[in-house]
Structures are given as C-alpha cells and as structure tokens.
Amino acid sequence: MRKLISQPDIQSSESPLLKPSKHESAIRQVMGNARYVDDIPVPADIAYACVGITGVASGTLSGLDLSAVKQAPGVIDVITVADIPGHTDIGPVFGGDPILVDGEVKFHGQPVFAVLAGTEEQARYAATLASMDITPSAAILTVDDALSANSTVRPQHIFGQGNALDALQHSPLTAEGYLSVGGQEHLYLEGQVSLALPEEEDRVMIYTSSQHPSEVQKLVAEVLGVKLHKVTVDMRRMGGGFGGKESQAAQWACLAAVFAMRQRRAVKMRLPRMLDMQITGKRHPFENHFNIGFDGEGNMLAADVTVNGNCGHSPDLSDAIVDRAMFHVDNAYQLGASKVTGNRLKTHMVSHTAFRGFGGPQGMIMAEHMMDTVARRTGLDPLVVRLRNLYSEEKGLTTPYGMTLEQNVLPDLMKQLSDSSQYWQRREQITAYNQQSPIIKKGLALTPVKFGISFTAKHLNQAGALIHLYTDGSIQVNHGGTEMGQGLHTKIGQIVAHEFGVELDNIEVTATRTDKVPNTSPTAASSGTDLNGKAAQNACLTIKARLVELFAETYQVPPDTIVFENGCVNAGEHSIAFADLIQQAYMARISLSATGYYRTPKIYYDRKNGTGRPFFYFANGAAVSEVSVDTLTGEYTVDAVDILHDVGTSLNPAIDRGQIEGGFIQGMGWVTTEDLRWDDKGKLTSNNLATYKIPAVGDAPSHFNVALFDRPNNEDSIYHSKAVGEPPFMLAISVWCAIKDAVSSLADYRIDPEIAVPATPERVLAAITALTENDDVSA
Amino acid sequence: MIEFLLNNERVSLEECDTGISVQQYLRQQQQLTGTKEGCAAGDCGACTIVLGEIAADDASITYRSVNSCITLLANLHGKQVITIEHLAQGKVLHPVQQALVDHHGSQCGFCTPGVVMSMFSLYHTDIAPSREVVNKSLSGNLCRCTGYRPIIEATTEVCENRQPDQFTAMQQQTLDALKNIRAEHKDVFANNVHLPETREAMATLLAEYPDARLVGGSTDLALETTQQLKALPELISTQRMLDCRQIDVTEDTISIGAALPLSDIEAVLVAHFPALHELIERFASLPIRNQATLGGNVANASPIGDMPPVLLALNASIETDNGRQTRLLPASAFFTGYRQTQLAKGEWIKAIHFPRLGPDTQLRAYKVSKRHEDDISAVCAVFTVTTVNGVITAISSGFGGVAATPVSCDDLATQFTGLSWQDEQVRQRGKHILMSAFNPIDDVRASAAYRNQVLGNLWQRFWFETQTALLATTRVPHYA
C-alpha cells in the first residue's frame, strides 16, 4: 500500500520544506511566555531540594554529622545514600555513578547528601552546614598521573590501517607533536532543573530539562525501586543542552523524585549556577600525541596518534566519546599507514560527559595540528598541505577504521570556499601587512570538517513518533526527540505538514513524553531530525495509506493518483479539503492515529578488529578564519569568518544557518577564552561566569559569512538532508589555526607554534615569547 | 514603604525584604516568569529588565537595562519597572520582539527575554545603531546558541526604524505618576534599607545604625546574598543623595558625583579624557554600568576594579562627607589595604575630582582580559606622561590586578624625569622596571608571570602610541 502513495514534491513552492520557517516557539520566546521547568506553576506544597558536596577530591567518608543541616530554618528532610529505596548507582551505561557519596569520595564537589526545605534559599543554606569527616587519599588529577597509575574507566581501544610504525621508519620526514586540549563548560543558560510530583501510590510525574527523558524515567524508576511504567517524564523544552543534559540531568530528577515520594509533596531541584558548574561534567579535556611521517611535498605517509581522554571518576559516556575522538583524528585526510590509540583515563574529577561533537573536536584538532606541522616543516602553505592530503580516489578513500567514503564532497567544497573567500589574495595581503606591522600580526586559516553521523552505540540509532489527527484536521505530533533550541520541533512540524500537504500552523509538536513514545534515544549525536524525522514521516505514511484507501474507494480513483497538497487531497478533478477528508475518515471509523518507527540502515562496527561502518554518512564543511594578534599582550580578535557547510538538502535554511553560526561561535569559545581551571586540590576555580568566559556579542566577527553547500545527501536520509547540530562546532578549529598562523609569521612561517587549547591571550603571548626569545618588540 | 510602577500599575510595598532581588520578586511574587535566572550574579543577562526613570531634564523618561538578579528591591523606588511581559500588546509584538522573530534570533530562548529588554532600552534612545552601539547595548547578554549574528542584525534593523510605541504614548502619564511618587516620599525606608535624600539624613542614619553598610548600585554587594548566601545587614543607599549626583566641570577640575551610575558619567569622562574610552566601554557591561557607581567602585577598593587605576594615574581626589564636614583625600593615599580605604566610620564618598589635563600631558588606559567585553582585568594599566619640548617632566600611573590594592609605580617618574620621551632607553628601562615592580599572584585569570610581562609590554605600548612618528596599529580591540 505504502509504495502506491505518490510522494509530494519537496521543491514545490507550496511545501513547507526547504523554507526558512521561524522557530516554532519564537513568538512565545520573545514574549517571555515560553515555559521552562522553573516557570511551571507549582502546587502549594512545593518544597525545594539542594545537595551538600565534598571539599576534597579523593578519600573515604568516615563520618557525617547532619544535625546542623536538620536544624536549619525550613528544613523538611535530609537524605544520604542509605535513604535511597532502590538502586544507588545511576551510571547511564556502565555504572560507577553513585547518586550520593557511598563511602568513597570520587571528586571535589561530589554530592554527599540532599536536603529538602521550604524555599530554595533555605535548602541552599542548609546544604552548607554539614560536618564531614573524610579520610583523604592521594588524588589523581591529571592525565599523566592517570597514565602512570594505569587508572582507566574503560579498556584501551586501538585501530589502524597498514603498519604505521614501519611506515614511520621509512618516511623521508617525520615529526612528533603533542597537544593539550582543554575541556569546556556547557553553560546552557538554563541550569539543571527537575520537578517531581508524586501521584497515586508509587507513581510519579517528572518535569525535567533533559536531552534523554527515557533515561531519566529508567533511572528514577530504579532509584525508587519501581517498574518503569510507574514513572512518566515530560520535557517540553530546554534552555540549552549541548550534551550537558544527556546523561547528567538524571541525578537531580532522581533526588527530587526520592524526596517527592518520601514526603508525598511536590519537589523542585534546580542547581544554582556555581553549583551546576562545580558538580556536573564537562567536555573531556584530552592530552594527545602524534608521530607522523611525510614527504617533502607534504604528503602524509604514516600517523601514529594517541588520544588520552580525561574521563573523570566514572565511565558515564566516555567510552563512546573517546571512540569518537579516535574516529576523527584523520578528519578529512588520508593519513597513510595509521595507528590510532584511545585511552579512557580515570581521574578524581567530575565525570566528564557529552558536549557537542562528543570527543570529535578533541580528535579532529589533531589532524589539523598535523597539517600545520607538515606545512611549516615543508614550507608549503597550510592550505596546500590540506588539499593535498584530502581523501580522494588517488590517495584512497578508506579511513583508519576501515570505512570507505562514498560521498566525498570536500575537494569541491574547499575549492569553492577558497575561491569565494579569496583565500589566496588574502594570504598575499596578510603577508604584506605583517611585514609592515611591528605589533599586530594577522593570521589566516582554512580548515575542513568531516564528521561521522550516527550514534556509535548502534542500538541508539532508532526512533519513534506518534501522530494524532483530530476531527477538524489539526494534527498533533509527538516524537522521541527533545527540543533544546536547535529547531528540531520546527523541522518535524515541517516534515509532517509537508507529508499531509497542509500549512505549518496545522501542526502542533507536543512535549516529549515517555508515555507517548517509549524507549527513546537521547537527542544527541546530531541525530534528532535524521531519526525522529524519519519516524514521524513513517507515521504520516501509515495514516496517509488509510486516507488514500478511503479516498480511492470514495471517488473510485487509482491510489497512486492521489496527492496531499495545499490543504486538500486531490486526484484528477476530485478535490476535498483535508479537514473534510479527516471528518469523513472519522465517520467511516478509520483510525486517525499512528506510530512511526525508524532505524538507521547499513551501520556496524567490529570492535574486536577495529573496523566497520560506524557512520551512515559524513557531514562536511569548511571555514576560513582571519585573526589579528597583539604580540605585546597575546590578545587577539577574530576579524573575518567565511563558512561553506554541507547540510545536504536543507530542510530549513534559517535553522541550519543558526546551527552553523551558533556552533561555530561555541567552538570559537572552546579554542579561545573558555578556560577551565582546577586548583591543585581538584577544586574547580573557574566556577562562575565571572571567571569562565564564553563568547560575548563583541566576539562575533564583524565579517561573518555563511553559505550552504548545494548538494543532497546521497544516502536515503530524511529528504536527503544532513545532520547539522555538531559538525559546525569544529569549523572553529580554523580560529586556532589562524592564531597559530599569525604567531608563525614571527618565525617566517617555518615553525608551528605550540599553543594549547584554549589559546588564551596568556598562552598566545607565551608562544610569541618562545618564538622571539628577544625582549624587544618582534619588529 | 517603597513605591514604584510595575509597567503602569502603582505598587506600594510596606514590607521590603533586603535579601530578595528584583528578579526573585518578579518571578515569585508577581508570577512574571518571563524574567529568567541564568547566574544570579549579573554576568549573563537572562534577568535583564528595563527601569524607566525621570530624566535629568525632568520632562522625559530614560529607559535603562539592568540585571534584576542583583538589584535590591528597595532600589525600585520611584521607578517604572518594565519586564518582558509588558512589551507586546495582546498578540501584537513590540517592534523589537518582531525583529528578533524575523531574524531568527532565538534558539533555546532562555536568554531571549533579556536580549529583548536590552534591545528595547536601545530602541528608546536616539543613538544610531552602529555595530559598536549594538555591541554595547547587548554587552550584558550572553547567548549560548545563536552566535549573536541574528541578534545583532535584528537590533540594528529595528533601531534604524524606530517608531513611537505604547510607552511613548503613555510617557506623560508615566512621568506624572513617577513625579507623584517622588513628591510623596522624602526619606524612604523599607525594612532594612534606608534611602536618604540629604546629607543631614544620611549622617543621622549613619550615627543611628553604626553597623549599617553603605550601598550604591548594589552590583557587588548583592552577590553576598545570591552567591554567598549571607543575610544582608542594615543598608543605607546613596542612590537618592542629591549632592552625590552632581557633575561639575570647571576650568581645572572635573567633579563627578559618587552616586551617579557609570553610564551617566561616561560622556563627561570621555569628553575630557578621550583615552579612557576603551576602558570605560570594557568596564563590566552596560546593565552593570547602568547601576554601578563611581563611588561604589572606589569605596570597594577592589584590586581588580577598573576605576581606581584611573584615579591614581590622573591624581584624582576623593571627597568624603560625614554631614558636618568634607575631606579631600588624594587617590594615592586612599587605598590602604586589601579592600580597605581611608573612609572613616560615619563618612561616605560624595564626589571624585579629576584635575584636567594640560596640552602637554598624554594619557592612555589599557585593560587586558581573556574576553574583551564584560571581563575582569588580568591587568589594568593607566599611564600619563607630561613633556615639555620632548623632555619628560612628569609620569603618573595606576594599575589593577597586580597587587592587593590599586597601585602606582613612582619609579617611572623618578627614573625618567628629565629624559627625552623619544629616548629608546625609556621604553626599554620602563619595561624592566614594571616587569619587576609588583608581586602579583597566580589566579584563575592569569599567572603572575603573565601579569608582569604584560605590565612591561603595556608600558611599551604606551611609549609606541605616544611617539609622534608611530603609524602602526597597536591594539586589537577597536573602539571608535
């Protein structure tokens, strides 16, 4: 039946697809009545929870005196791990994440107990009053220490092609490189928050700001010791997620739920900013290393790359994150013989977690580091080296993990961008400028991104949707994805409106709820539209098949002539308003509700042999960044950015552009000013917005040009579009390379300066000083 | 009792908890949940609201963006409070809201209400929306999703096409209502917050409540409740002190009232000391400058405050008052220790007096921080040099971020007076003097080594920028 339905044309001017529709919540957002969890009107019996945390990174909790906490004003209840009725480990994949300290202290800031009080302020204050006896033990706080101690959260993984060590020995030129890659605080503007409402007997309702409602449901049920069907999780929107609410939103929902069931009253748990920054995981810091072999023409011959992820105290999602770092150390380049090693190091730090790119950025930056190294050693322009090493038929299309590139767009894309951005003219201008500018030096870099799309945990690549048609022709859509600002609901609305040939305002995408679509995957890995869009489309097709059958019978027309367009259903001279057809279908006792399901085809990975096709396809892009660096202070500005990005067929060019620009600026923060600092006791010192600086409005480059690369996905993704959430983040590696380019001008472009990420002004000045070694101004 | 307008409704509060911020009041007591909490520290702007106040001409209203999370409830007295809920009329969006929708300027939407309010305050000025003006207006609003481009374009476009709105139409009524409140209250008191208007009243209060703390814009003090969870003591606000709100320009002195918000003194400072422009633009964010006062920044005596180095380098004087007599204290002697000053019990800062610069004196002010906007200085350095026929007759300086107090380096004057300013050794030796002049600390913002190196290099920048022959660019941030 399904194949008999004629598919509407996505290029049609009437279709809501390919149009820059505004974000579905835009009007409510600008009016201030888009509701976030903390804005939900609360029952009169609401109480507020907060956690008390450790002040040491490692040790054993030998005594805990909570009497002052219990006596503090407004306090209703105090719990420790002993009061948890069910599971006490809330690790998302492997375990290792106690909901509250269970004997062993694992990091500075680990929650030890939770307190419930009448107001937020009372709960926060009471949480500071406990007296803890902790017998300290030696803390492992760096990757190097963890490597020495062989302290890991998961086993090492290795893959590669050919014999890299042998090829290195036979390479005409070799180089070694090291890069310290900093982590990153998510800094979602809306902090972590959950609201738990006790319902009849052992049932509970959770409102949470989470990218993964199904996991919150599972963990709340386990912590309470009930089955999953007793717990319902509702998630309308997040005020930003970026990965920080994938696994680490659950703990606060669990604690709120425990209190709610103990006290039979509504409980809200919202982390104030400083606490949020101290006790939730961040992007993994990495300490990476490479040995490469190449020839005098800049051709890569061999690469032995090791990525060392600082995972913090528990596995959380780190296994997949370090895998993704490994899968991206080649970025877009044929490295030759390769060996890629990934270590997952256990430290006494908060458990680092998902963050846009999911390890990809920390791996990919090594590829660009290699290209810069080769360029400076050979005296070639870095862009020449990059273009020369791109995957191609001649160079080979097989990645270090054995996957073959089937749609290789970057040679064309980078050529187009280098032309449109006038890279070579600007290179000449900058060289000339630097010769006559003694203090300010400009730098330029064009870097590509090739990012693998699919969850590398294969089972997560599935999605469900639920569509209801009401008798007036209006439509509700529910799906497993969550809206965190990325425009997922807008795109799903466009897809459903397109399938039924109706206008966008006929579609209401409702809050993500575990009682509507079960067992969902997190909204992560850029997969939201790919997975849920296909699931929603499949639900549409199921209902359309029923409607087509009715229409065909009513008008005696062949089913394949029936089209849904312009608010009508048409076949030849027969036309009926969509709402009228729905009314007829209702009267004819036809079901107007359906689920849809989708799983990604083709993907697999053989971990034992380190080979497979972990990704359905690759999303690509490239950016040219131009910077000015002050050689007296190390300060810099990002002056101009040109981006050409591959989203396949763009379902919504405005939303895609928003993802590209926003991702780029967030990535720019990661490589420039976002400087996570811990002291030698393992305490986070960059623990508020006064000490941790994300890009502000003035940091947006004055020239910021974004274009979409016009080529559909050759895989059967939803309307041949491509995922866009994470890939643009890594375009900002061009900023880091441009800063290095400016500094390299001080050594006549023959040395690649060592500048760790983030390249703070202090680090840039140190690199300048190292290159000039002269206490005079560089001129 | 305090009284204010919530949009157009007059609100009287008999009880006014000092520990509650305006943001908490709006969300918890007025159910106006459009105003968000992102950080409760004045750093993110999600809580931005606009306060309408009777303008200096007494005939119009100025609309300023402020961070409601660090605004004391008592500071609303006599003002109009405008929140995100008040902009649209029914379903018709305000032009700034519509512009943000049209430009796709919201993604997650959590920063959006604050962004809209900052746009609204710029919309209610007649300043042409250059990129620098737009940056300044949005300098207190962090957005983690969009990368700012659509927000910048929306703001620019809507402020290039300003039209009267309902607030313009209501302006006279609003003005009358605010004037009524002003006329009906002399000394304002709400629980633990006193807002005296005269020096006599201030002196009486300080005598009556010897443990009370003085507060200006509360942008620093409020953090003690929102971040450190302390209960605030009795507070005496300088906000309504008329003789602390004067600007006086004479032939040789610029006098600035200590209780004026920084945004009210930018124009006069930049007019007379153009070299301060960049430093002032980079002083916190506009919403902070709309509340924070010069007196507060000086009285706090923080080693990382950006105005004390200016006072030091300009040889400013601090005028204190105790209700009976005033004292004039040189800035060089004012800062006595970490967050300690010569201000005596019962005294408050009335004004700061800046001697005007002669044509032979050159001034430069530098700030180095990780982020250009709304960041705390790793190093702040302010220099002047006076030359007669190219020969140095005086050098003064002020530094932040390098010691426990704001400091100067007298060695520069001692060593170089009498030398030619063009002399290369002045550059070289000055750099070495400054690189070892202080013992800064390593902290989250910068290492001691970086601070020392930058100090020396900022001296070089100063030297380069004040040589007649130099044509090269010397800084990366561009402030027109």
**CATH architecture, domain defined by B248-355:** 2-Layer Sandwich (3.30)
Chain A residues touching residue B110 (CB < 8 angstroms): 36, 188-190, 239-240, 485
Residue B480's pLDDT is: 63
DSSP string for residues in B219-232: TTTTHHHHTT-PPP
| Domain architecture of chain A: domains with CATH | 2-34+462-599 (3.30.365.10), 38-138+186-279 (3.90.1170.50), 286-456+607-772 (3.30.365.10)
Pairing of strands A204-208, A231-235: parallel
Structure token digits, residue A207: 């409102």
DSSP string for residues in A427-474: HHHHHHHHHH-SSEEEEEEEEEEEEEES-SSGGG-EEEEEEEE-TTS-
- Contact of A505 with chain B, judged by CB distance below 8 Å, is answered with no
Shortest Cα distance, chain B CAs vs residue A26, angstroms: 6
Backbone angles phi, psi at A149, to 5 degrees: -85, 0
Confidence class for position A1, pLDDT limits 50, 70, 90? very low
Do the beta carbons of residue B380 and residue B309 sit within 8 Å? Answer: yes
Structure token digits, residue A299: 């051709």
Structure token digits, residue A714: 């050759």
CA atoms within 13 A of residue A458's CA, in its CB half-sphere: 10
User: Can you tell me the distance from the alpha carbon of A235 to that of B79, in angstroms, rounded to the nearest whole number?
Assistant: 38
Which residues have CB under 8 Å from A145's CB, separation 6+? A151, A347
Do the beta carbons of residue B272 and residue B254 sit within 8 Å? Answer: yes
Residue A202's pLDDT is: 97
Using one digit for the tens of pLDDT, what is the confidence trace for A310-356?
999 999 999 999 999 999 999 999 999 999 999 999 999 999 999 99
User: Can you tell me the distance from the alpha carbon of A34 to that of A645, in angstroms, rounded to the nearest whole number?
Assistant: 31
Residue A613 CA to chain centroid, in angstroms? 21
Residue B193's pLDDT is: 87
- Contact of A119 with chain B, judged by CB distance below 8 Å, is answered with no
CA atoms within 13 A of residue A494's CA, in its CB half-sphere: 25
Chain B residues touching residue A675 (CB < 8 angstroms): 370, 444
CA atoms within 13 A of residue A88's CA, in its CB half-sphere: 15
Which residues have CB under 8 Å from A504's CB, separation 6+? A16, A21, A493, A494, A497
Position A566 pLDDT exceeds 90:
yes
Structure token digits, residue B122: 């710029």
User: Can you tell me the distance from the alpha carbon of B416 to that of B423, in angstroms, rounded to the nearest whole number?
Assistant: 10
Structure token digits, residue B94: 């305000």
Strand partners, B318: B329, B352
Which residues have CB under 8 Å from A48's CB, separation 6+? A116, A117, A118, A119, A120, A122, A123, A267, A268, A269, A270
What is residue A104's three-state secondary structure? Answer: strand
Confidence class for position A4, pLDDT limits 50, 70, 90? low
User: Can you tell me the distance from the alpha carbon of B291 to that of B301, in angstroms, rounded to the nearest whole number?
Assistant: 17
Residue A604's pLDDT is: 97
Pairing of strands B48-54, B61-67: antiparallel
Residue B478's pLDDT is: 77
Q: Report DSSP state, residue B245.
A: S
Position A621 pLDDT exceeds 60:
yes
User: Can you tell me the distance from the alpha carbon of A210 to that of A225, in angstroms, rounded to the nearest whole number?
Assistant: 21
Chain A residues touching residue B375 (CB < 8 angstroms): 693
Residue A372's pLDDT is: 98
- Please tell me whether the overall predicted TM-score, pTM, comes out greater than 0.90 for this model: yes
- Residues in chain B, overall count: 480
User: Can you tell me the distance from the alpha carbon of A111 to that of A49, in angstroms, rounded to the nearest whole number?
Assistant: 12
Structure token digits, residue A472: 């007036």
User: Can you tell me the distance from the alpha carbon of B293 to that of B215, in angstroms, rounded to the nearest whole number?
Assistant: 10
Using one digit for the tens of pLDDT, what is the confidence trace for A131-143?
999 999 999 999 9
Of 3.40.710.10, 1.10.150.120, 2.40.50.100, 3.30.70.1450, the CATH number of B95-164 is 1.10.150.120
- The verdict on a CB contact (< 8 Å) between B144 and A29 is no
Shortest Cα distance, chain B CAs vs residue A247, angstroms: 19
- Contact of A761 with chain B, judged by CB distance below 8 Å, is answered with yes
- The verdict on a CB contact (< 8 Å) between B472 and A438 is yes
Sorted by where each begins, the domain ranges of chain B are 2-85+168-237, 95-164, 248-355, 361-465
- The verdict on a CB contact (< 8 Å) between B39 and A36 is no
Do the beta carbons of residue B112 and residue B150 sit within 8 Å? Answer: no
Chain B residues touching residue A121 (CB < 8 angstroms): 19, 229
Do the beta carbons of residue A750 and residue A376 sit within 8 Å? Answer: yes
Position A777 pLDDT exceeds 50:
no
Chain A residues touching residue B428 (CB < 8 angstroms): 776
Task: Output the CA–CA distances (angstroms, integers) from residue B243 to A30, A98, B258, B341, in the order listed.
Answer: 40, 60, 9, 22
Residue A2's pLDDT is: 45
User: Can you tell me the distance from the alpha carbon of A302 to that of A300, in angstroms, rounded to the nearest whole number?
Assistant: 6
User: Can you tell me the distance from the alpha carbon of A434 to that of A162, in angstroms, rounded to the nearest whole number?
Assistant: 43
Which residues have CB under 8 Å from B54's CB, separation 6+? B61, B78, B175, B178, B179, B182
Among candidate residues B248, B229, B399, B241, the one with its CA nearest the CA of residue B311: B399
Which residues have CB under 8 Å from B256's CB, separation 6+? B247, B265, B268, B269, B294, B351, B352, B353, B354
- The verdict on a CB contact (< 8 Å) between B376 and A690 is yes
User: Can you tell me the distance from the alpha carbon of A168 to that of A161, in angstroms, rounded to the nearest whole number?
Assistant: 13
Chain A residues touching residue B478 (CB < 8 angstroms): 637
Return the active site residues of A. Answer: 726
Nearest to A761 among B38, B368, B475 (CB): B368
- The verdict on a CB contact (< 8 Å) between B450 and A762 is yes
Mutation for A interface: B70, B476, B479, most A CBs within 10 A: B476
pLDDT per residue as tens, chain B (480 positions): 889 999 999 999 887 766 689 999 999 999 999 999 999 999 999 999 999 999 989 999 999 999 999 999 989 999 999 999 999 999 999 999 999 999 999 999 999 999 999 999 999 999 999 999 999 999 999 999 999 999 999 999 999 999 999 999 999 999 999 999 999 987 777 778 899 999 999 999 999 999 999 999 999 999 998 999 988 889 999 999 999 999 999 999 999 999 999 999 999 999 999 999 999 999 999 999 999 999 999 999 999 999 999 999 999 999 999 999 999 999 999 999 999 999 999 999 999 999 999 999 999 999 999 999 999 999 999 999 999 999 999 999 999 999 999 999 999 999 999 999 999 999 999 999 999 999 999 999 999 999 999 999 999 999 999 997 766 889 998 776
Using one digit for the tens of pLDDT, what is the confidence trace for A141-155?
999 999 999 999 999
- Average pLDDT of the residues of chain A: 97
- Contact of A443 with chain B, judged by CB distance below 8 Å, is answered with no
* Burial degree of A737 (CB within 10 A; 0-12, 13-18, 19+): buried
Q: What ipTM describes this predicted complex?
A: 0.97
Q: Which numeric CATH code is attached to B361-465? A: 3.30.390.50
**CATH architecture, domain defined by B2-85+168-237:** Roll (3.10)
Among candidate residues B396, B381, B283, the one with its CA nearest the CA of residue B331: B396
Consecutive H or E run containing A189: none
Using one digit for the tens of pLDDT, what is the confidence trace for A735-747?
999 999 999 999 9
Structure token digits, residue A164: 């890299």
């909490």: which residue's tokens?
B37
Shortest Cα distance, chain A CAs vs residue B428, angstroms: 8
Among candidate residues B66, B84, B220, B217, the one with its CA nearest the CA of residue B140: B66
User: Can you tell me the distance from the alpha carbon of A55 to that of A496, in angstroms, rounded to the nearest whole number?
Assistant: 51
- The verdict on a CB contact (< 8 Å) between A628 and B110 is no
